[in-house]
Amino acid sequence: MAARGLVVTDARAAVDLAVCWLAEVASRPDPDLTVRHRLQALFGAWLGAVVGTEAAKSALTALRTTSQDALERATDFDAREHDAKLLLLGRRALREDGLDSPALASFSQELARVLRAAPSLPATMLAETRLLAALGETSLGGGDPPPRTDLPTGGHHLLTTDPATLRAFCNAVAGASAFGSVRCVVEPSDATAAAVAALLLHKLREYDLALGAMLLRVLKYLGAGDREETSHAVSYLLCQQQDTGAFGLYARELGATMTPRRLVLDVELPITVSVVWSLVECTSREPFLLPRGRPLLRGHPDQRAPS
Amino acid sequence: MRRLNPPSTSESAHRLLDGTLQWLDRHLDHFDPFRSGPLTGLCEIPLAELAILTLTRLRCTRARGDGPDIRRWLDTLLSASVDPVFRQRPFREPETLVSHLMVDSALRLGGRAGQLSPASVARLIAAQHRAAPALPPHREMELRHALDLAGVAHGLPSYPELLRRSLPASINPIFLTTPEIYVVTHVVFYAADLGHRVADVGSDADRRRLACLVEQLLGMSIAAGDWDLTAELILCTQCLDGRDGFAGAGWRAIGAAQRDDGAIPGRVSREDEDGNIAPGSTEDIEACYHATLVTALAALTWLHAVSW
C-alpha cells in the first residue's frame, strides 16, 4: 500500500507538470496548431482534472474556450479525418462547461444515427455508444447486446503479432470495455493478460511510448491493472518526462526526420496526452471516462451483475 | 523436476532438437579454438559451449534419441584438449579456467581421459583467490559451477549467497540491458546445474520472484524475436520449476524461425535484412551457432524432463 501511495503521488505530480506543458503548447499563436492538436491538449487537461491538479483545472477552462474558438474558425474541418473517440471526448469536455461546437455536434448526431440504424452493435463500438449516450445522443437501453464474435481474440499469440494488429487489438479492447467501465473478458483471459503485460514491458524497452502507454491502459481494462508490470511501466514512464513536462526524449530523432516544432506537435503532444491518460488510469481505482455499467455481452457470465 | 508436457510443445521441441543437433554436427570444425591460429583472448568459449551441450546430451539419457554420434563431439573436445598449449593455458591465464573445466568435465563423463588434474586446479583456485572486484559475483558463480562439475575442491560461497550478490532483490526488466539479461539466465543455469536440479536459489519466495522475472523476460524476448535469449529463458523456466507460461509460445516462435538447414538465426542474422551474410559462410556460422546451440540445450533439457 505504501509503495502504491508513492507511485500515485509521483504520477499526480507528473500529470500536473504535463498539463502545464500542454496548456502552454496549445496557447501559442501557431499556424501549425490544428484542431486535432487542440482537442488532444484539451483531453489531456481534462484527464489532469480527473486527478484534481490545480494546474489542470485552470488549463481546462482556458483550453475549452480556445478549442471552441478554433473549431468555429476551422472552415475545412472534416470529422472523418479524426479519431471518433477524440471528437466525442472533446465535445464532452466542452459540454461540461456549457460550451459546444456545431461541427462536433453534427458529427455526434451523424454517428448516433449510423449506430441506431446498424442491425447489431459491434462490441468494439461500445465506447463510442456510451460516449454518445453521455452526450444525450442515444440510449443504451435499446438494441441487441453486441455479439461475442466481435470481441478480439487474445492469448500468447499476441507476443508475435505485428504492431498494426496489436494496435487494433488495443483499440478493440478499449472500445469493448468502454474504457474500463464494463468488464471485458478476452479469452483465454490469464494468457491474454500475461501477454499484454510482457508486450507492455517490451514496447517501452523499444521506446515505443505510444503503444506502451496504450498497452498499460489495456492491461487495466482487462482487469489486470494490479500486475507487477504496471508499476514497472509507471516507474519507467516517469523517468521519461522532460523538465518541461512533456513525455518522451526524442533528441536523436530531432533533425534527422523532423523540425523542433513538428516534434512538439506531432510526437511529444500526442505521446504526452497518451502517457497522462495511462498514468491517470493507473492511479484511479474506479473508471472515470464513463460510468461503470453492466457488460452488454450476450451469454457473458457477468451479464447479470454489475462488474 | 516436475512434469511439463503439453504434447504440441514437445513436438516443437523435438523438431527443433533434431535440426539444431544436425546443424551443429555439420559445423563441429567451427568450435576448434585453433581454427584462427594461436590461442588468444577467450577463443575457447565456443568449445566450452559445445562441451556444455555434450555434457547435457550425456546426462539427458531419456531425450537422447537418434541424434548425431556423440563420439564425434567427444573427439572434437579431445583433439583440442590434448594439445599442450591448450592444456597449460588456464595455469598461465586463469581467466580461461572455466572453459577448460567444462571441456574436461564433458570428456570425463563421456569416458575419455580428462586433461586437468583436480588437485592442480584446486591449488590454482586457492592461490589466486578469485573473487570480486576482479571477478563479479555472477562470474564467481560460473566458476563455482564449473568446479563442482569437475569435482574440484574449493571454498567459494553457496549458490544462494552468490545469487544474492549477483542480482538485486527488485528488478525492473525494462531497464535491463541485453548483457544483464544474460547474467540473469546464467546465474539461474548455475544454480540449477543447467537444469539437472531445481535451482538452489534460497527460499521459495526467492524462487517465485525469480521465476516471475524470468517469465517477464521470456515474454519480452519472444516479442523481440530474440531466439537466443528465448531459448535461454525457456531453459530458465525449467530450472526454476516454473509454471507453464510462455514456454510453449517460445517453442513455437523459435520453431517458426528455424531455417531449413536446422540453424536458429542469431541477432546478427535477423538484422541482416539485405542478405549480406551468405548461408553456410563462416560469418553465417558465427552468427547462428550460439542461438542454435542454446536451443538444442533447452530442447534436450525440456524433453528429458517431459519424459519423466
Degrees, nearest 5: CA angle A162-A167-A168: 100
Out of B172, B175, B219, whose CB is closest to A159?
A: B219
Q: Report the distance separating Cα A29 and Cα A47, nearest Å.
A: 24
Per-residue pLDDT at B249: 94
Nearest to A194 among B172, B219, B248 (CB): B219
User: Residues of A with CB below 8 A from B245's CB?
Assistant: 194
| Alpha-helical runs (H) found in chain A | 2-27, 35-50, 54-73, 84-95, 102-117, 126-134, 163-176, 189-205, 209-221, 228-238, 260-262, 269-283
- Subunit contact A159:B172, Cβ cutoff 8 A: no
Contact indicator for B192, B59 with CB cutoff of 8 Å: no
Look at residues A141, A135, A301, A279 and name the one whose alpha carbon lies nearest to residue A220. A279
Mean pLDDT for B5-33 is: 86
Query: What is d(CA B19, CA B25) in angstroms, rounded to the nearest whole number?
Result: 10
Helix intervals (H) in B174-281:
178-191, 204-224, 227-239, 247-257, 267-271
Which pLDDT tens digit goes with each residue over A153-198?
889 999 999 999 999 999 989 988 889 988 888 888 899 999 999 9
Q: How confident is the model at residue B64 (pLDDT cuts 50, 70, 90)?
A: low
d(CA B222, nearest CA chain A) in Å = 6
- Is B218 in CB contact (< 8 Å) with chain A? yes
- Give the whole-angstrom CA distance, residue B274 versus residue A78: 42
Closest B-chain CA to A196? B219
Interface test with A, best of B172, B227, B229 (most A CBs within 10 A): B172
Q: DSSP readout, A29-52?
A: --TT--HHHHHHHHHHHHHHHHTT
> Does a cis peptide bond (omega within 30 degrees of 0) precede residue A146?
no
pLDDT at A150: 63
The reported pLDDT for the residue numbered A196 is 97
Q: Which candidate from A157, A198, A203 shows the least CB-CB separation from B216?
A: A198
Judged by CB atoms within 8 Å, which residues 219-238 of B form the interface with A? 219-220, 222-225
Across the interface, do A159 and B223 touch by the CB < 8 Å criterion? yes
Task: Please judge whether A159 and B246 are an interchain contact, meaning their C-beta atoms are less than 8 angstroms apart.
Answer: yes
Give B 146-175 residues with CB within 8 A of chain A: 172-175
pLDDT at B131: 56
Answer yes or no: do B174 and A157 touch at CB < 8 A: no
> Residues of A with CB below 8 A from B220's CB?
198, 201-202, 205
Residue B65 pLDDT more than 90? Answer: no
Closest CA to B300 of B56, B48, B5: B56
pLDDT of residue B111: 93
For A200, which residue in chain B has the nearest alpha carbon?
B220
Q: Between chains, do A198 and B219 touch, taking CB under 8 Å as contact?
A: yes
Q: Which of B4, B24, B74 is nearest to B240 (CA)?
A: B4
Q: What is the pLDDT of residue A297?
A: 35
Provide the 10 A C-beta neighbour count for residue B267: 17
Cα Rg for chain B, rounded, in angstroms? 19
Residues of chain A whose pLDDT is less than 50? 1-2, 140-148, 294-307
Q: pLDDT, tens digit, for every residue of B104-147?
A: 999 999 999 888 999 999 999 988 765 546 788 999 999 999 99
Q: Quick one: closest CA in B to A212, which residue?
A: B174
What is the percent of chain B with per-residue pLDDT over 70, rounded to a whole number?
93
Residues with Cβ < 8 Å from A25, sequence gap 6 or more?
A: A33, A37, A41, A264, A265, A269
* Contact criterion met (CB below 8 Å) for B222 and B246: yes
Hey, are the CB atoms on B249 and A157 less than 8 Å from each other?
yes
Confidence at residue B243, expressed as pLDDT on a 0 to 100 scale: 62
ipTM: 0.90
Interchain contact B202–A (C-beta under 8 A): no
Among chain B residues, CA nearest to A202: B220
